[in-house]
Amino acid sequence: MKKMSEQEHVDHLFKFKFPTCTTGQEYELEIPLKIPHSGSVKELTHRIVGAFKLPCYVEDDLHQELEAAVKQWTLEFHDNKAESLIQAAKNGNLDVEEIIKNWEKIYKEKTVAYAEPVGTTDEELFAAAYHRLVHSPSLETILQAEHEFGRAVTDIVQQRDAEIERLTQKQTEEVRMAVETLEAGSTERSINAMLGRHFEEQSLLQGQWGSKVDALKLEQRRQYRNWIMRLLEEQQTNMLPSPVSSPMIQMPPPGQHRDNYSSNSNNSGRKDNKGSSTDFPQLEESFTIHLGSQMKQMHNIRIMTGDVFDFCKTRHGDSGMDPTPQRLQTALGLYSNDLCGLVLLSDNHVGSFSGVTKELCSICQLTTEFHFPPIDEQLEKLRDDVKDVVAWRQAHHREGSDPQARKSTGSKSLQIGDVFITRHSNLAQVHIVFHMVVQDSLRSGEINSRHSAILGLRNILKTACSNDVTTLTIPVLLVHEMSEDMTVAWCTKRAELVFKCVKGFMIEMASWGGAELKNLQFLVPKGMSEEVFGTLATMLPSIFRVSNPLVFKATGTPQTPKK
């Protein structure tokens, strides 16, 4: 048995007697307790009443006796422990050196001034080097190198898609011919065998091209990170190279990557999303507002139409065009307190298999991720984290909730309003993507300010202002595409709800601390008529406080104000 000075707790048996109202018979309850008790006595009382189904009239008496017993036993525990320590000190049984070492350990773990210095990790060194270089004359060189790397990956991905498309067309034609000649010699067994062979061919081809793409990205990531560190060394030794010949590791010239993989590349890969600006007009309105009760803060509010993936796509065409200005702004703000975020409405599948998450993964795979883990690795880690979150939610689920939600397990158990986050450095205008889980019921169903999706927006705004996200893009209708059932009245009502709730969250955000949300963008799905967009644009300044200048009329002679 441990000595009293070494014991962390002692066991006591709490006894409580109470009579019944009808028979007057007395019952005795015995409960083991660990002293000192780390929890709340009030909570423990409720747990005892619920576990033993005690009558409600004994709750107050139970709480009073339990609180008095815990207080008395805790005082006795500390008194006995202190007495044993004093007695040990008198007898010379205390190890003074051990006590000094223990205090030294505590100071090192809890006090920064006495903590041992921790070395900087490789990721921190690379982040510091990159941040310093992009704010120097080397910025143009870095962006050009990233652009060349992106073109190489885009080319090989387009070749992969072209090969898979050709194989798919060939297999489709074989299946069609086999079905047409079913009575002339083909059998169901032969067709099934052919389908199995087709599946193996598809898997083999995708595996081969996947290995090529992964190998190219790994090599690019290694070259890029080594080049950044060596470029910083050149800059620190006052040998800053010219923007044209600065890479010490020569970047591959345009077109060289196409020769490394022999394949007939045509334009059958992913199409550029340039039709979004020609098929539908680009509508946009901007406002400057002030929010706050006493100390007002200025924000820039913008409402626009467009595709949500226009904020993500980085174009690397065959024409050799320079990097877009959006990439310049993204690079400058990557390791800063001025990050850009995007709210992406996805389903409850954490993966790159379906929905808008699959589209985002396809865009991310067109270029190499030099700073963060690839999106596939981020989603894989999120799938493991979701299992723990779901297990905790089911363990703490309140009674009376939806039983179907309690039965859901695995990655499919995410609910409306849940948010998971991915980090990116290879997108056009986005550093952070907030994936908010929604369902198709949001397209036509009526929601209120307490809906899970609205509360999800509140959590996103809170996370944004707590993590230096100063520009945030939100789908104002909580959908990414227009449909026939979205009437003018529905669009107006949904936008008004989102506007008012976001305004309230922004006012509340001022008390949370952290970064100030400077730019807020409301995204309207492309294809909305100009009349409906005008209605939403007119509604926005009426809900938010728009900054209007005060106009004073100057006169030649001073005028006395009228009483």
Map tokens 């993507």 to a residue. Answer: 433
CA atoms within 13 A on the CB side of 416: 13
Structure tokens belonging to residue 189: 């067994």
∠395-35-107 over CA atoms, to 5°? 85
- Please name the amino acid found at residue 66: L
The answer to whether residues 453 and 438 touch, using CB atoms and an 8 Å cutoff, is: yes
Give the tens place of pLDDT for each residue, 173-228: 888 887 777 656 667 788 888 888 888 888 898 888 888 988 999 999 999 999 99
Listed as ranges, residues in the chain with pLDDT below 70 are 1-7, 182-186, 238-281, 292-295, 315-324, 352-353, 396-413, 512-515, 545-563
Two tokens, residue 85: 């320590």
Tokens coding 488: 């003018």
- Quote the CA–CA distance of 45 and 39 in Å, as a whole number: 11
pLDDT (0 to 100) of residue 553: 67
Cβ neighbours for 62, distance < 8 A, ≥ 6 positions apart? 16, 18, 45, 48, 49, 54
Q: Torsion angle of alpha carbons 440, 443, 446, 452, nearest 10°?
A: 50
Check residue 273 and give its pLDDT: 39
The tens digit of pLDDT for each residue in 360-407 reads 888 888 888 999 999 988 988 888 888 888 887 777 665 444 444 444
Q: Name the CA radius of gyration of the chain, rounded.
A: 33
Q: Which two tokens stand for residue 461?
A: 């705004």
- Surface-to-core class of residue 220, CB atoms within 10 Å of its CB (0-12 exposed, 13-18 middle, 19+ buried): buried
Q: Where in the chain are the domains?
A: 10-114, 124-260, 275-314+324-395+409-543
Q: What is the pTM of this model?
A: 0.69
pLDDT at 49: 87
Count other C-beta atoms under 10 Å from residue 429's C-beta.
Answer: 20
Cα–Cα distance between 272 and 510 in angstroms, integer?
A: 40
Distance CA(207)–CA(212), nearest Å, equals: 9
* CATH number 3.40.220.10 given to 275-314+324-395+409-543: yes
322-339 confidence digits (pLDDT tens): 566 777 888 888 898 889
Residue-level pLDDT at 324? 63
Q: What is the DSSP letter of 353?
A: S
Bridge partners, 423 (sequence order) = 432
What does the H/E/C string look like for 355-416? Answer: HHHHHHHHHHCCCCCCCCCCHHHHHHHHHHHHHHHHHHHHHCCCCCCCHHHHHCCHHHHCCC
